[in-house]
Structures are given as structure tokens and as C-alpha cells.
Structure 1
Amino acid sequence: MWLDVSVKYLGQRAAVSAVAVWAAIAVVFSLASFAAVAPAHAQSSGMSSALSSGLSSALSAGAVTPLSVGGREALVSLPHDYDPALTYPVMLVFGGYGASPEDMASTSGLHGSANAIVAYARGIDNTWAGAPYSAMTMEEDIRFARAIVDELSYDHLVDRSRVYAIGHSNGGAFAIALACRAPDLVTGAVSVSGMFYEGIDADCADVPVPVLFLHAANDDVAVPAGGLRHGTPFEAVGGVFDHWAGRNGCLPETSARWTSAVGASVHAVNGCQAETEFVLSATAGHQWPFYAAQEAWHFLSRQVG
């Protein structure tokens, strides 16, 4: 579906109004009654085939290998046609609350979609900084993300101008937090069903970073309008999108682009110093959408620092 949205300029702030996003959400949500609604999942992973423990079939088959990172760990997959003489981008992957890197490697589809070295990071207690249940501070988890890239560079030719972050739910918000607080590390970030607890999208460096938000109008965990969870307020995704449109120096208007994701629309803010987009689905709920890997790589692969 194509939906063209124009937003009136608000004061001196060059940002798309969250009102436009809410209007889009309302339109897309109205389509939900005409489609089969995906079942709502707990915030623990949001992926129907997630593994609860142990090594995934991908790990046992050798598709991913463990990487020790200063007492912590990530699982790494290489491109199908990996050539050690070539330089590759890096994609850092962060799962939702309770989701292991085995889960993400097995279910996200990122390995098959991205021509990159993909590192599925393991959070302490499968959590990421910025949430009330997080086991680590923001500084500790950002330091871990940096260390993953450093560790990869010992054995692979890493293009540090193309380091990307993507995550789901708690991990999706952390991916955006990396763009906010570590723009020297990441060249682009993607949030899938991001759970933006209060304060996670604050105190950002004044540096434009390309960001993409994938969300669903019927998400009943990371509710688009914001709310309260685990005793802590979380922000409306439209408000976070609005913040980034301002940070990225965008004009106060959006336009749609075509997407292969059935039942979703794409809203790209115009005139930005760094691309700022929102993909809105009617019925994906809080699970990892089937189109997430393709949409994310389509966006990230064109970002170069």
C-alpha cells in the first residue's frame, strides 16, 4: 500500500510530526480486519519458532560459530560466498527480552539476506541495556558491541565504515541506542518492534545516523502509542521516529516508497542528512515480521559512513 503523508511545519523543528505516523497507523490498522492477524507473542522473543536453550541447528550445522569477546560471546555467520581477501560490512544483531543468539540465528533470516559478517550478540540474561530488567548498563553493552567489531577484525577484513545494528523488541531499542550514543561505531540502525523505555532515546550525540523503524499497528507488547510495561513508561514509536527526523535534519514532510512487504507501507522522511524511514505493518503483531531481514538489508546496505 502506498500512503503519501504531508506534515505541517511545527515551529523551528525540521521533523515529521508524530501525528502523521499515528494517522498512518490508524489507516493501516483498519486493514487488519481484512487479513489474518498473526498471534500475539510474549516479549520474550516474538518469534514462533524460537529455541529456548542450547545450540540451534544452525550452530550444529556449522552455519554459525562462537566468538569469545572479553568474557562474553557472540555467534558469527559469514556470507555464503565468503572470500577472506575481501572486506565485508558487519551486522550486529540483538534479540528481544529472553531471546538467545541461537534464536536470532535460526529465525531472523538475516544470514541469508545480508552480504555481511553477521554477529548475533549474547546479552547477559538475554537482555539489553535501556530496559528496567536489563542486566547491564548502557555503557557496558555499548562497550561489548564495540568489542565484537574489534574481535572480528582480528580474523576478517572488516569495513568499519559499514557497521550496522539491528534488533528486535528490547534489542531493537538497543540498536537505536547505539545510533544515539555511538554514532562513531554504527553507520545505520534498524529497530524491529522496538520497546523504547523511558530515557533510552535521550542524550544522543549530535550526529546524523540512518535509522529504520519496523513496527506493526497491532503490536500489543510494544504498543505503538506507548504505555507502561514492567512498571516503566515506554515511548510511542511515532515519537521516537519524530525525534530522529529532527536529529537527522529532515524536512517536515514524508513520502511513500514501494515495498515488497505485503500489508505494509513505507514512509520516508524527505531532505534528511541521513535516511529516516518507517515501515508500518497492519498485522505483524510483536513477532519478527517475515519481511524484516529483506527490508533491513535493503536499507542498511546502501548506508556508508
Structure 2
Amino acid sequence: MLLLLVSVIQTKTLRRALGTMLALILSLGTLAPAPAAAQSSLPGGFALPGGSSGGDATFPLAVGGRDVLVSLPPNYNPAIAHPVLLVFGGLGASAEEVSRTLGLRANSGAIIAYARGVGNAWAGAPYSQTTMDADVSYARGIVDAIAAQHPVDRGRIYAIGHSNGGAFALNLACRAPELLAGVVSVSGMFYTAADQGCWGGNVPVMLIHSTNDDVAVYGGGVRHGAPFLSVDEMFQRWGTRNGCQLQPVHLAAGGGRTHRAWTGCRAQTELVISPSAGHPWPGHAPAVARDFLARQNR
């Protein structure tokens, strides 16, 4: 009898405990749900012009009497100093067109600056509407203007350009070598007169060109009434400026391309040749350029 009584008491106690727990669970279910995790945002309340909250927009930034279109990298963090890639389009290509068509932003961790040439052209060409000193000063001003608003890694400032802009990127390495950690020229139009004033060097350089380029002809020639250098001549000149031994080695390359590099250089000097890309900006240029520039810093 005593054991039966104890059992009944235990059963009632267990039921009361279970009832209490159930009531507690039900009461929790009626509380307001916990707030969802806040969406990632940029520290310091950073926001792009136009209300965008990420590095997705391209926006203008004043540089002297011109402007530049600036694109911040995806997942931009203003607490981190980023590299800067200066981009110079070919003759007639606006900064807006260059930003839309060159495909440089994908997989890039750099702040990209699409520069605006006077008359959509760059110094060093016979049709240029400005001087070399003015365009070099403008390029320096771009870096300073970006650095005034965003942390910049001064040891990783790069330049890339196409056609007339590709030649100017090299001219920038000639006249502002301390600014740049690396330069890529794509389908560059290397007017002889512009290169004669080159005094710089020790800047990593890559040339990307095609043997069937019918504008910036691989073997050199005359255009707009002015002579321009062959790609091989320009490759050799930069090999000399970068202290290379001028003994080429062949590196792996896909898509039927040839990839050459000088040996013993103080600064890497390379040439990527396509047999069929012509003069337009080639699809392989962004990845090839990115791989080269990622290895360079000052």
C-alpha cells in the first residue's frame, strides 16, 4: 500500500512538472521573434553616391578640371588599404564606355579608376589635345583624389590601357616610375616620338598584343602621319630599362597564345602574343593582366 501511494505521488508530481514545462514552451512561442541578423554593411556608415551601400557602383570623382570614374571592389572594406588600378581607354573611348566594356572589375580587389582623356585621347599620339606633362599630372591627381577619400596602398598602384591608352600607360611608367608597381599595355600604339622622352625604368611591364592587329600593327609602321615602334622593339626597350639580360624564356599560355619573359630583370618584363585577337580589347586581357599585376608591388 505504501509503495502504491508513493507511486501515485510521483506520478502527480511528474505530471505537474510536465505541465509547467509545456506552459513555458507555449509562452515562449508567443514572444516576438528574434530580429533577423543585420545585413552586412560597410563600417563607418560608408555609402556610395546614389544611396548604394556596396562597392557596386561607379561614380565620378573630380580631379582638377577633369573627373575620373571610380569603382570600389566588391565587399569593399574602408578599414583596409586597397590597390588602385588606373585604366586608360583607346582613342575615342569615353571613361563610361571603358568602365562598361573592359571587364576589369570581376575578381578584382582593387579600386579601379577609369580615367578621362581630353577629347578621349592621351598624350603621345599625333592627335592628342593635351601634353604629356598634363596627362601625367592628371594620373597622379587621380591617386591623390582617391586616397583623400579611401585608404590606398601606395605600394600597389597599377596602370593598364588599350591602344592609345596602352601606350600612355607605358609613358606613365617612363615619367612617373615611382608611382607605379606595374603596367600592362594592351594593343598599344607606340608612337616613336613619345617613347623618345622616356627616362624611367624598373617598373614591371607586360605587353599584350596580337600579330594580326591591323591598327597597331605588330611590326610597326606609320599612322596619323607619325611612325610607331614594333612590339618587339618596345619589348626590348623595356627589357633594357628594367635591367634584363634580354634572353627570353617561354612561359605557359593557353588559347594558342605565346608568353615570353626576359630573364635576370630588376623588374619583370613580359610579352603575351595572340595570333588572332586583332586590335580590339581581347577577352583574355583581364585575366592575364590580373595574374601579372597580382605579383607586383613596390
Same fold (TM over 0.5): yes
Q: CA deviation at 1:187?
A: 1.3
1:292 is the counterpart of 2:285: yes
- Out of 250-259 and 163-172, give the one that drifted further: 250-259
Name the residue aligned to 1:265: 258
Q: CA deviation at 1:206?
A: 4.6
Structure number with the higher helix fraction is 2
- Taking the aligned partners of 1:62 and 1:117, their CA distance within structure 2 comes to 11
Matched residue SS, 1:266: strand
Q: CA deviation at 1:202?
A: 2.4
Would the aligned equivalents of 1:183 and 1:205 in 2 still touch at CA under 8 Å? no
Would the aligned equivalents of 2:159 and 2:180 in 1 still touch at CA under 8 Å? yes
Matched residue SS, 1:255: strand
Matched residue SS, 1:90: strand
Please list every run of 5 or more consecutive structure 1 residues that lacks an aligned counterpart in the other structure. Answer: 1-60
- Taking the aligned partners of 1:87 and 1:196, their CA distance within structure 2 comes to 33
The structure 2 residue matched to 1:231, chosen from 225, 235, 238, is 225
Written as runs of structure 1 = structure 2, the 5 A alignment for 1:74-85 is 74-85=68-79
The structure 2 residue matched to 1:280, chosen from 273, 284, 293, is 273
Written as runs of structure 1 = structure 2, the 5 A alignment for 1:57-136 is 63-136=57-130
- Taking the aligned partners of 2:83 and 2:151, their CA distance within structure 1 comes to 9
Length-normalised TM-score, structure 1 = 0.78
In the TM superposition, structure 1's runs of 4+ consecutive aligned residues that sit over 3 Å from their partners are: none
Written as runs of structure 1 = structure 2, the 5 A alignment for 1:1-305 is 63-260=57-254, 262-305=255-298
Matched residue SS, 1:75: strand
- Taking the aligned partners of 1:202 and 1:89, their CA distance within structure 2 comes to 30
Say which structure, 1 or 2, has more relative contact order (CA 8 Å, 6+ apart). 1
Counterpart of 2:152, as a letter, is V
Q: CA deviation at 1:62?
A: 5.6
Give the % identical residues.
Answer: 54
The number of residues matched between the two structures is: 244
Q: CA deviation at 1:113?
A: 3.5
Matched residue SS, 2:243: coil
Would the aligned equivalents of 1:97 and 1:170 in 2 still touch at CA under 8 Å? yes
- Taking the aligned partners of 2:186 and 2:169, their CA distance within structure 1 comes to 9
Q: CA deviation at 1:149?
A: 0.2
> CA-to-partner distance for each residue in 1:68-87, whole Å, 9 max, x for gaps?
11120111111111100001
Kindly report the root-mean-square deviation, in angstroms, between the aligned alpha carbons of the 2 structures. 1.3
Please list every run of 5 or more consecutive structure 2 residues that lacks an aligned counterpart in the other structure. Answer: 1-54
Counterpart of 2:63, as a letter, is V
Q: 1:181 to 1:88 in 2, by over 3 A?
A: same
- Taking the aligned partners of 2:246 and 2:154, their CA distance within structure 1 comes to 32
Would the aligned equivalents of 1:79 and 1:115 in 2 still touch at CA under 8 Å? yes
Would the aligned equivalents of 2:244 and 2:263 in 1 still touch at CA under 8 Å? yes
Q: CA deviation at 1:102?
A: 1.1
Bigger radius of gyration: 2
- Taking the aligned partners of 2:76 and 2:265, their CA distance within structure 1 comes to 34
